[in-house]
Chains A and B, each alone.
Chain A
Amino acid sequence: MKPHLYRTVLGVALCFLACEKAAPKGDSPPASHRIVVMAPAAAEILDALGATSQLVGVGDFVQWPPEAAGLPKVGAYHAPNVELVVSLGVDLLLTTSMQAGGPTHAKLRELGVQVVTLETNTYEGVLSSLRKVGALLGKDEMAARVETRIRSQLEETRKRVINAPRRRVLFVVGREPLYAAGPGSHVDEMIRTVGGENVVAEGVSGYQLLSMEIALESRPDVIVDTSDNRPGAIRGRALGFWGQFPFLPAVKSGRVYYVEPVRLVIPGMRLPEMTALLGKIVQPEIFGEADPSEFLPFDLSGGNGGR
């Protein structure tokens, strides 16, 4: 109990300190925070702003940046453990939109922890989250620089595919039953950016059960299948499950790709890199074929994994 109590007191004290420091709202040196990130995307934003040293705890699913590995885990995204968070003396908790966190977040706010919810499912969401965190940490300029870089990367990708053929893409997230990425997901946005057309165009929002018949009738030119997240799963260009439907253009031309979900489906600061990879899958004539290693899980042991 004792160390926890001590930390709590310290935390509360730091919080007051931080609040007071933030009060003048000028160009004063940025306050140092004690931060917990619940979502991988939030951790990526902190990393992009060079602020990982302020991290004191992470959500269970945050595996990156490498600094996160040694930090205390404080629960799944939707359920940060209030006692743990408070005992770490946290004054800022960053999470992604997740309704289930509601009551816990309210409790944390009551206890003086600033809870900030970020929307990271779209390009604009990621960029505005970046600005938001930048402002919170007094790193507005750095955030603006990163934003400019990301925008120019995306813009360049868009320019390169202006005259490219519009390829029909089926992006599979789960197969038993089938669910696929539809409008409203970052995947849909990425598909459009790289000159593709999502075959799941209407009626489906985000990720929902999709009729297999519709999926087949839509005759995709390219299939990206991220449904298998197990270690050792089939990866790269292969027919696999979809080979049983030889009439699909994607199967005829061998353009079925099995990709580690982390590479494409977890939105966040890696959106430009994810878009680049999807570009190589959908328009290899323009962006070049992807390296087989790009379909595999990140090698976290290497130190600079995740990039």
Chain B
Amino acid sequence: MAAERAPLSAGRLALWTAVLLAVLACALVLGAALGAGDVSLSDFFGPDSSRRTILLEVRLPRVLLAAVLGSALCVAGISFQALLRNPLADPYVLGVSGGASIGGVVALLLGFGIGEGIFDRIAVPAFAFGGALGALVLIEWIATVGGRLTVYTLLLTGAIFNAFSAALLYFIQSLASLEQLHAIVFYLMGQVPVFGYRVLGGLALASFLAALALFSMARDFNALSLGEEGALQLGVDVERIKRRTFLLGSLLTGLSVSVAGLVGFVGLVVPHLLRLLLGPDHRLLLPAGFFGGAAFLVLADLFARTITAPNELPVGVVTALVGGPFFLYLLRSRGGRRGNF
């Protein structure tokens, strides 16, 4: 692929952005059109107001939220892969997800998340986001050595914090009652909830702004792929970039885990797929990931909603079941040969 070496032309950026936007649009339409029951898009215009309610208040918010979370996870994944210069990095590798899960599970243990009030609905994500922020501050503090955020310390701290969180979660689960256990397990498996449009709008805005800030660093990510020394020589303020990437990526991850639990592989498989298609230029990769990740999670959630209807599957199960083998396939068939991984 010679294109990888060629400078990014505005035309190529526009073309691929348009293609992925179209893919996302198709995914959104499919997601809104199909469901476990027989409500479909035409019900929007139909005479039956109850079917319109199901479409607009139950299905559509969930489809849109899946898009928001998918793009957040994918952009976070691409950014962490750039930051750590490690193809195995995913949004969960730096430990923030562990903090978020602990926060969420503690909220469930305290009995939030099932009541009628607005606070009950928001408490679990709020606690989880608090946990994510706590983990973020802690990990950054530990990984900062002599005023510098070193990538290896960061990675190690994240891995150890994740192992610690997992142990803490098992500890909490072993104390929980059977009913609580049910709620905790479903929360951790990853589930796209149904939120009202106001909450949805807030989440979308926050994740869009964080993604935009990451886009603005795309050039620096490209420089960073030469190694920190190389990037420094190109005039990149490496320390600032690393810190901002860690913060913004962690915010996106924390936001997504708080709302939907641990939905795996979106931040790993989609970035690699796009890298194979588009090459490693982050100026193209990040916007492509923004739309591609959204489309992927919308489709995965569509599967989760419909494939075993009237049952539902946790969407995290779908992304991992599809994502895992697909990732291995990519690794064997193309990446291995080209040494791209």
Enumerate chain A interface residues (CB-CB to B < 8 A).
Answer: 61, 77, 174-177, 179, 200, 202-204, 208-214, 216-217, 219, 227-230, 233-234, 240-241, 244-245, 247-248, 261
Contact = CB atoms under 8 A, between A and B. Distances in A.
22 contacts: A61-B177, A77-B178, A174-B114, A174-B186, A176-B114, A176-B124, A177-B186, A200-B310, A202-B310, A209-B186, A211-B312, A212-B58, A213-B58, A214-B36, A214-B310, A216-B50, A216-B53, A217-B51, A217-B54, A228-B115, A230-B114, A261-B179
A173 to B, nearest CB: 8
Interface in B149-190: 177-179, 182-183, 186
Contacts of A208: 311
Given A176-B193, A177-B186, A211-B310, 12 more contacts: A174-B183, A177-B191, A179-B182, A211-B35, A211-B37, A211-B312, A212-B58, A213-B59, A217-B38, A217-B39, A219-B50, A234-B116
B70 interface: no
Nearest to A176: B113
A77 B39 CA distance: 42
Given A213-B35, A213-B36, A227 B114 contact: yes
A-B CB proximity, top 9 nearest: A247-B50, A211-B36, A217-B37, A214-B310, A209-B312, A213-B37, A230-B111, A214-B36, A228-B114
The A interface, classified by DSSP as helix, strand, loop or mixed, is loop
B251 interface: no
A109 B116 CA distance: 47
Interface string B8-49: 000000000000000000000000000111110000000001
Contacts of B59: 213
User: Dominant SS at the B interface?
Assistant: loop
Contacts of B308: 203
Contacts of B186: 174, 177, 209
B11 to A, nearest CB: 42
Contacts of A247: 49-50, 53
A182 B177 CA distance: 22
B115 A177 contact: no
Contacts of A177: 186, 191, 193, 312
B177 A214 contact: no
Interface string B296-322: 000000000100111111100000000
A248 B38 CA distance: 16
Given A175-B114, A176-B193, A229-B179, A210 B311 contact: yes
B42 to A, nearest CB: 15
Contacts of B53: 216, 245, 247
Contacts of A203: 308-311
A290 to B, nearest CB: 21
B4 to A, nearest CB: 43
A74 to B, nearest CB: 16
Contacts of B305: 211, 213
Interface in B49-93: 49-51, 53-54, 57-59
Contacts of A204: 310-311
B194 A211 contact: no
User: Looking at A179, A202, A211, which has the most chain B CB atoms within 10 Å of its CB?
Assistant: A211
B191 A61 contact: no
A213 B193 contact: no
Interface in B310-339: 310-314
A61 B114 contact: no
A143 B146 CA distance: 76
A212 B312 CA distance: 9
Contacts of B35: 211, 213
B54 A210 contact: no
A188 to B, nearest CB: 14
Interface string B202-240: 000000000000000000000000000000000000000
A172 to B, nearest CB: 11
A202 B308 CA distance: 11
Nearest to A180: B310
A211 B179 CA distance: 20
A151 B300 CA distance: 48
Contact of A209 (B115, B193, B194, B311): B311
Nearest to A79: B174
A214 B38 CA distance: 9
A43 to B, nearest CB: 16
Contacts of B193: 176-177
B314 A209 contact: yes
B334 to A, nearest CB: 36
Contacts of B36: 211, 213-214
B339 to A, nearest CB: 42
B49 A176 contact: no
Contacts of A77: 178
A228 B120 CA distance: 11
Given A204-B310, A230-B115, A247-B49, A213 B54 contact: yes
A234 B114 CA distance: 11
A240 B116 contact: yes
A261 B305 CA distance: 27
Nearest to A230: B111
A212 B311 contact: no
